[in-house]
Amino acid sequence: MAEAVLEIVDHFGAASYETQRVEGHWRHSGVLYRDDLVRVVVDVPDSAWNRQWMRQFKERWKVRLEQVELWASSTASATWQRWRAQAISASTP
């Protein structure tokens, strides 16, 4: 995950990374998975360019981490857009 955070820092200049332990369980195609969850928070202006970059980032890291999905959300504000990209650091069936 450190590489993913540094990629965001290189692009946007800053990122926050939550290190608290959050464990998730979910089913996909009949298989139960356990995940160790990580949250990365990036405060960036709401622009088409930033949204596109975050979509591409998500897809790159989904493949790199061999994940079925990575969850990302955004929260709008009057002056900034917050992207919360949660990446799963490890999934095990």
Domain, as residue range, for 32: 2-92
| Rounded CA separation 23/33 (Å) | 10
Give the Cα separation of 17 and 38 in Å (integer): 8
CATH number at residue 38: 3.10.28
Q: Give the tens place of pLDDT for each residue, 11-50.
A: 999 998 887 778 889 898 999 988 888 888 888 888 889 9
* pTM of the entire predicted model: 0.70
Output the pLDDT for position 77. Answer: 60
Give the burial string for 63-93 (b: 16+ CB within 10 Å, else e). eeeebeebebeeeeeeeebebebbbbeebee
Number of domains in the chain: 1
